[in-house]
Structure 1
Amino acid sequence: MQDSLVEYGARRVIITITAILCALLEIVDSTIVNVALNEMKGNLGATLSEVGWVITAYAIGNVIIVPMTSWLSQQFGRRNYFAASIIIFTIFSFLCGNATNIWELVFFRLMQGIGGGALLVTSQTIITESYPIEKRSMAQAIYGLGVIIGPTLGPPLGGYIVDNYSWPYIFYINIPIGIAATLMTLQFVRSPKFSEKRKVKDVDWLGIGLLAIFVGSLQYILEKGHEEDWFDSNVIIFLTATAIIGFILFLWRELTFRYPIVELRVLKNGNLRIGTVMSFILGFGLYGSTFIIPLYTQSILGWTALQAGALMIPAALTTAFMMPIIGRLLTRGAKQQILVSLGLLIFFIYSFWGYKILTPDTGKSDFFWMLIVRGAGLGLLFIPITSLALSTLKGQEIGQGAAFTGMMRQLGGSFGIAAITTFIANRTVLHRATLDAHLNMNDFNVQQRIAGLTASFQAKGLTPDAALQSAYKLLDLSVLKQATVLSYMDVFLYLGILFLICIPFVLFVKERKGREVIDVGEAMH
């Protein structure tokens, strides 16, 4: 069954392009919106937390559908399901651009996320199966280009569209690509022959419901926990309980039901288990650092969205350059665990570098080499982790494995962003208290600074009282800024330590399990 889907020549090229287009559509769309939130807020008369739902709804739709993609492909045939997903995504992109109020937009984004979730995982499965086994690593490298470049392309593209047109165009841009991808899918993608379709009574409706409850609650907690002060909020407490109970019941259902919606048994594969954990950590680092640098440059350094987005482009190009090289190394027999460890080490260097260079006025040139290092690290992590996870799976299992790694990468990203946001807020309060303690009003330097500021405000025409007030306010703001910078430094330091801790784990675990699995594989050949 496996080899019947392997394609050659021009047909393989077209299928690869179609799959990458779809992966890019999905990923660019999850980050392009970040830049336009301000415009939407003003345009639709929404509050900041309401407009945050535009991102949350998409992520919830995504994460709910991803684990079900393998099953849905079996039900309806992969080609039909993939084409339907592109059509849903494209139609709801159009509706998002035409939304008249915030809740309409949130609903359309949820539906767009449900269409989009399938694009990522199914395109990965299609690419993997279109290449013969010995070229799988190359296939993952090609797919990885889309996945790594997507989050980086989103913000500068969004910034450009918002600056020159209006926010609905960030959704309209999907329409021509969606139409082209649908036609190419219907023409060229083939469906594998699955053994049987399920009758309606065999469908795991309860599993679908429990999965939606568990993942939806978890995603909400991660996205909104910080705003609502975590466990001080009754909603968060209720949803945490719901997520835990939903998860336990979901596990029980999937392991006992005859036709589970998510095939958990595929996780018996040792390589996939490690790949799934590593995908989570990769998501944490990838989305976490993609989130923190634009945030830092815009909020602390006062850059525009376009400047912040453009900063990330050289790093993405570095990753793009690395991908085929690493694909070739893997094809020639380089050990996945060595490459992953090297990637983690490079990521540690990048994080430590970030920790060293952050100041309230770090220049653009200071970021350049640090981000190039990040690009190299990501290249070394992405393909080896994915090809390690899927390396010993066959047939249907490839789709199921891709769904697990995709979902874990997405959840890792949500965990990363939630953890970083909360961490920055808490550390800022801590650093602020420490700085305030050192700020002695009787200190000669402090008095001089206040006097200088007061004089400059008086020169601008303020009364002595108002000038003194403004001087205190400005000093207070610079203390807050300094405290915020210190907490960003902490984020970089701790992210680096997290990656460093993972290295022995990767080297140690993979060696033992991998040998076992590969020997079995060889015995079968």
Structure 2
Amino acid sequence: MAAIAGAMPTYEVGARKWLITITVITCAIMELIDTSIVNVATRQIAGNLGATVEETAWVITAYAISNIIIIPLTGFLGDVFGRKNYFTASIILFTVASFMCGFSGSIWTLVAWRFIQGIGGGALLATAQTVLVETFPPEELDKANGIFGAGIVMGPTLGPVLGGYLTDNYSWSWIFYINIPIGIAAAILSWKFIKGAKTKLVGKVDYWGIAALVVGIGSLQMLLEEGERKDWFSSKLIIIVAILAVAGIGLFIVRELTAKNPVVDLRVLRFRNVAVGSALRFAFGLAIYCSVFLYPVFVQSFLGWNATRTGLLILPGALITGMLMGVNGALVKKGISPKALLLFGFGMVILYEYLSYRLATQAAGEWDFLWPQLIRGVGFGFIFVPAASLTLAGLKGKDIGQASGLSNMLQLLGGSVGLAIINTYVTRRIAVHYNDLMGNVSFYNPASNERMYNITSQLIASGKSPEQAKQMAMGVMNGSLSVQSAVISYSEGFMMIGIICAAILPLVFLSKIKKGESLEVGGVH
């Protein structure tokens, strides 16, 4: 018995446990905020650094590429360097890179440091969940997943709001400088409290696997980020990147399934619940990032809202999500089927997308968006904990880090894939709707003739010549058609997210959970 007891893992208690929790959650939120905080500052960055809009887009793309590459490697790197050393070094790298981003004097210097920042930041996300799993005992695992899930949802939501406020009131550099004091404090706490010894590697390092991952996933992320801007396969660069993505990912899969010491052990997908849970995390990432993209763009572009007004309407739903994470942890622990919770959660998200589709008009006000946002908050609150519990249930040792890194990568990849789909869909639907509406503007349509006559009369009354008034009235009509086309297309974008979620939802039924079974992760080392 003594030997068995000695082999059992030890978990943190008291203040130490909660200091570790605060540290890793803060780091995860900080990393996720930086995935979206730059989005609202691109125009200011371009103007200040003398860059084009296309060049400035690489500030976002570089971070996303390094993020998506490093996340699946975190389990391997944590074993090689030790969880404590790796996590602390990642915080320091992220913090130093944040300072250098804010200090950058040229666009390509900023892009380079954003890539480095993403390497540090990606490690914070996946390692944070692994550290939490190792900090909490099995019976409190769902509480840990709930806390982590609240951070997962809050990060992307807070990014545009915080970025807009700092850019409007200070300068774009402060969206990076704000990380510095938080990073310093987190690094000190991480070094002092987090445990994690090195794991002796068996066999050679899987350099071919690492190279294939970098080429394949990096190229895929570039394809998703740049595809729509370069009109997809009409661009030679996109064709080359697509070929590299297919070849790299194909080689990576073959290598990781056959190597004795894979850098990313894809064999964890042999566990049905890991495969299903990872797929659901992919859908969860798609829903979060796409809704965070569509809502702010719609209300700021077509309703004239500023970043503060936009963010304040998002926050209540995000707070509901955070509160429900803990509730879901308790429900899963009591044996409530995660399948039921996931079905309810995705059902609420689908309802949110449908309501947003119906209510997203130029006449919409705060109330039209507030209560759907609350519904979205409820939905997200019922997804993450059951999906994370499903993914990690029954895993031991290295499998936990591998499954955590893989599912976190797929969640971010879901966001990237979703944004590429939605952006392309909305852009192309705008052209379709514009052509449809233009067909109604003709001499044979009494409504359009009356509209044209009224605008022309007003312009003539203001002092314009009849010819000038006619030309200007045509411009007004054309602008009105463009706005109407965009409004309809963005509203359809919400519906498209709901359809994708509905298509993925049946995967829930493929998971294997006995009725009344409580999901707990045991044997974590």
Please state which band the TM-score falls in when normalised by the shorter chain: over 0.9
Task: Report the alpha carbon displacement of residue 515 of structure 1 after superposing the two structures with TM.
Answer: 4.0
Whether the 8 Å CA contact 1:64–1:215 is kept in 2: the answer is: yes
Whether the 8 Å CA contact 1:2–1:394 is kept in 2: the answer is: no
Match of 2:145 in 1: 140
Match of 1:274 in 2: 276
Equivalent-residue separation in structure 1 for 2:305 and 2:8 (angstroms): 51
Equivalent-residue separation in structure 1 for 2:459 and 2:401 (angstroms): 65
Work out which of the residue numbers 25, 30, 33 in structure 1 matches 2:35: 30
Equivalent-residue separation in structure 1 for 2:8 and 2:146 (angstroms): 20
Task: Report the alpha carbon displacement of residue 3 of structure 1 after superposing the two structures with TM.
Answer: 4.7
Cα distance change, pair 503–213 in 1 and its aligned pair in 2 (3 A): closer
Report runs of 4+ in structure 1 exceeding 4 Å deviation. 518-524
Cα distance change, pair 225–521 in 1 and its aligned pair in 2 (3 A): closer
Whether the 8 Å CA contact 1:343–1:378 is kept in 2: the answer is: yes
Equivalent-residue separation in structure 2 for 1:334 and 1:431 (angstroms): 46
Work out which of the residue numbers 427, 437, 452 in structure 2 matches 1:425: 427
Equivalent-residue separation in structure 1 for 2:495 and 2:375 (angstroms): 16
Deviates more, 1:120-129 or 1:317-326: 317-326
**CA deviations over 1:44-96 (Å, ceiling 9, x no partner):** 11111111111110000101101110110111111000000000000000000
Work out which of the residue numbers 48, 56, 66 in structure 1 matches 2:53: 48
TM-score by length of 1: 0.95
Report percent identity of matched pairs.
43
Question: Quick one: which amino acid aligns to residue 491 of structure 2?
Answer: M
Equivalent-residue separation in structure 1 for 2:116 and 2:216 (angstroms): 18
Whether the 8 Å CA contact 1:75–1:198 is kept in 2: the answer is: no
Task: Report the alpha carbon displacement of residue 464 of structure 1 after superposing the two structures with TM.
Answer: 2.0
Match of 2:251 in 1: 249
**CA deviations over 1:304-338 (Å, ceiling 9, x no partner):** 22322222111111111211111111111111111
Whether the 8 Å CA contact 2:393–2:519 is kept in 1: the answer is: no
Task: Report the alpha carbon displacement of residue 502 of structure 1 after superposing the two structures with TM.
Answer: 3.3
> CA-atom RMSD, angstroms?
2.0
Task: Report the alpha carbon displacement of residue 192 of structure 1 after superposing the two structures with TM.
Answer: 4.6
Whether the 8 Å CA contact 1:78–1:191 is kept in 2: the answer is: yes
Match of 2:93 in 1: 88
Whether the 8 Å CA contact 1:342–1:380 is kept in 2: the answer is: yes
Equivalent-residue separation in structure 1 for 2:154 and 2:456 (angstroms): 49
Whether the 8 Å CA contact 1:159–1:309 is kept in 2: the answer is: no
Match of 1:509 in 2: 510
Question: Quick one: which amino acid aligns to residue 99 of structure 1?
Answer: S
Equivalent-residue separation in structure 1 for 2:29 and 2:8 (angstroms): 27
Work out which of the residue numbers 417, 426, 447 in structure 1 matches 2:449: 447
Question: Aligned pair count?
Answer: 517
TM-score by length of 2: 0.95
Task: Report the alpha carbon displacement of residue 497 of structure 1 after superposing the two structures with TM.
Answer: 2.4
Equivalent-residue separation in structure 1 for 2:455 and 2:436 (angstroms): 23
Equivalent-residue separation in structure 2 for 1:368 and 1:280 (angstroms): 26
Q: Determine if the alignment matches structure 1 residue 370 to structure 2 residue 372.
A: yes
Question: Quick one: which amino acid aligns to residue 359 of structure 2?
Answer: I
Match of 1:463 in 2: 465
Question: Quick one: which amino acid aligns to residue 500 of structure 1?
Answer: A
Work out which of the residue numbers 67, 71, 76 in structure 2 matches 1:66: 71
Match of 2:316 in 1: 314
Secondary structure, in 3 states, of the residue corresponding to 1:227?
Answer: coil
Question: Quick one: which amino acid aligns to residue 501 of structure 1?
Answer: A
Task: Report the alpha carbon displacement of residue 40 of structure 1 after superposing the two structures with TM.
Answer: 0.3
Equivalent-residue separation in structure 1 for 2:105 and 2:466 (angstroms): 49
